[in-house]
A and B are shown apart, each in its own frame.
Chain A
């Protein structure tokens, strides 16, 4: 390679392409994980992200076709996701049932509702053209070598994801609202005696988490891919939860971890043709293996919200 003057340039282009698609692959995880971070910070554990993302992915496709705009689809996904988050809140926060079991029910509901809706609306019609998100063209910036594809040629949603990661970090660590959310998740009894309506804060955080998972699903079906396939989320809802744990409930950390997963996912696809002698299945499992490693490496963290998963009952 050293003799070939084009070598380094080709390598750089490969690397740029890898990182750029890594950013795109990271976004569904990022949105879902940011929402879950806020939910868990307030003490609500939602293991049903997978189901919510499925519903978001389906609604985004159905409503971008119906309204003729991906933004219409996004809005539907946000509303649908928030509704499912509220449903989880109704059971986990208001009725105070087992949060894990309620989350498991969301997975079943999401699987069922998205598959039901898909077969009903599209009736197996594979040729529906889905209006997806266009990449933003920032003119000369997008044409820059390396930096152009890496930073200035993504979907509008990707920039929203970056802004939300920074914004949520700021809100959670630097504002009164963030303090309220953390107080409710760390010590609900103290928050209650300080006059905070614990259940109300948790319900809102659960709805927010659901809406974010809905956006993650919408990104998957209308920006990363173009269309809905049953069970298309393929474990991303659970990887998103692993991101939250590995990032120790810090939104900026979530951004970094989601990017690592996105790059790993983009990388395994690019590695497949380079090693034709290795069965392709061994590349597909890479992100899942990475999630296992991340879980094993990051658990038992002191950043775990103290009252996570515990319903609050007034004394």
Chain B
């Protein structure tokens, strides 16, 4: 009994959705052609140099560490219907607070000082997210705009810190002193830059997954996001959820910040957050806000960045194409979500 394969009859909306997908893909290829390159060659470099060599895999893993941590935070907040799009600022403040605390951690044994450093990073990010949380919970301010404004404020604060109170003793470059070696996350695999931040990210995944899937709080988040009125009726206070989830989300971003400093750069400097926060949104959405899928999506986007670096190096296609691809992926994801609905699932 072999059922005859039949295409499902498509309604008008689904046809439109599929058409949008097709036109979008063509437009992307058109952009590449506009730069005077063969789309096939660019695609081959993007995938080959992004995922298929040892060096690029290692590079993608390095980049996926902060993306996973911030992506988890964004996923948590989006679950609650709270749009934290300012992970960049929370990441910066977290890193800055931890670096500021670093000299005080000297007397502690090294088994304790490193976790304390990471904690300081998380606290810094949580405070920065919490400011947006208070503005939203107490005054009803829109968190999308608030978190973005706090991004720009954080960038300026760090710019001042590394030229002022936190500047290296030599006072030449706008950057902090190097962290003591006891405060550095060790490299996991010789010959790569993959640090123990990978373990931190994995632990965070498990913790956030547990929080979402097995705790009352995680349930309250999801209910608030799906139906605030029902949440209120069930005794959940959306304002409390909004504030706490912005703290949590910011805390994860702050943790990402200090993991980047301690595991990769070794010091606080300018421009190291560059767009992690906005890519984290794409990561969280593609993972459908599910913590176990966040590292997978993070790795995918990390590879996309590594591949795009190679494309920009080898071909005439400029690097910002990567943002166009990110935007297109988010839109394609939105379109695909409309399809099952149109089929009357």
Contacts and interface: CB of A to CB of B under 8 A. Distances in A.
B13 interface: yes
Contacts of B16: 94-95
B334 A105 contact: yes
Contacts of A279: 160, 163-164
A300 interface: yes
Interface string A283-309: 011001101100111011000000000
Contact of B149 (A111, A284, A291): A291
A72 B337 CA distance: 39
A281 interface: yes
B85 A111 contact: no
A235 B324 contact: no
B43 interface: no
Contacts, number: 150
A101 B152 contact: no
B153 interface: yes
A230 B144 contact: no
Interface in A89-140: 90-91, 94-98, 100-102, 104-109, 111-116, 118-120
Contact of A295 (B146, B278, B337): B146
A75 interface: no
A49 B323 CA distance: 16
B145 A241 contact: yes
Contact of B144 (A95, A100, A116, A284): A100
A29 interface: no
Interface in A169-199: none
Contact of B334 (A95, A108, A109, A297): A95
A242 interface: yes
A238 interface: yes
Contacts of A108: 278, 282, 323-324, 326-327, 330
Interface string A226-261: 000010001100110110010000000000000000
A108 B285 CA distance: 14
Contact of B330 (A101, A120, A235): A101
B149 A95 contact: no
A95 B278 CA distance: 24
A299 B141 contact: yes
B148 interface: yes
Given A100-B83, A112-B320, A230-B320, A105 B145 contact: no
A61 interface: no
B319 to A, nearest CB: 7
Nearest to A95: B338
A285 B152 contact: yes
Nearest to B144: A47
Contacts of B156: 281-282, 284-285
A292 to B, nearest CB: 5
B119 interface: no
A238 B157 contact: no
A107 B147 CA distance: 15
A112 B139 contact: no
B328 interface: yes
A97 B338 CA distance: 7
B199 interface: no
Interface in B68-116: 83, 85
A115 B323 contact: yes
A212 to B, nearest CB: 18
B20 A112 contact: no
Interface in B293-345: 316, 318-328, 330-331, 334-335, 337-338
B160 to A, nearest CB: 4
B135 interface: yes
A305 B122 CA distance: 38
Contact of B327 (A95, A112, A291): A112
Contacts of A242: 142, 145, 149
Contact of B320 (A111, A241, A245, A291): A111
A197 to B, nearest CB: 15
Given A104-B330, A111-B327, A281-B157, 11 more contacts: A95-B17, A107-B327, A109-B328, A113-B320, A119-B318, A238-B144, A285-B156, A295-B135, A295-B149, A300-B139, A300-B140
The 10 closest A-B pairs by CB, nearest first: A115-B320, A112-B323, A112-B324, A108-B327, A119-B318, A299-B140, A109-B327, A296-B139, A295-B141, A281-B156
24 contacts: A91-B331, A95-B334, A96-B338, A97-B335, A97-B337, A97-B338, A101-B285, A101-B330, A109-B328, A111-B278, A112-B323, A112-B327, A115-B320, A116-B324, A118-B320, A235-B152, A238-B145, A239-B145, A239-B149, A242-B142, A242-B145, A292-B146, A295-B139, A295-B146
Interface of A: 47, 51, 90-91, 94-98, 100-102, 104-109, 111-116, 118-120, 230, 234-235, 238-239, 241-242, 245, 279, 281-282, 284-285, 288-289, 291-292, 295-297, 299-300
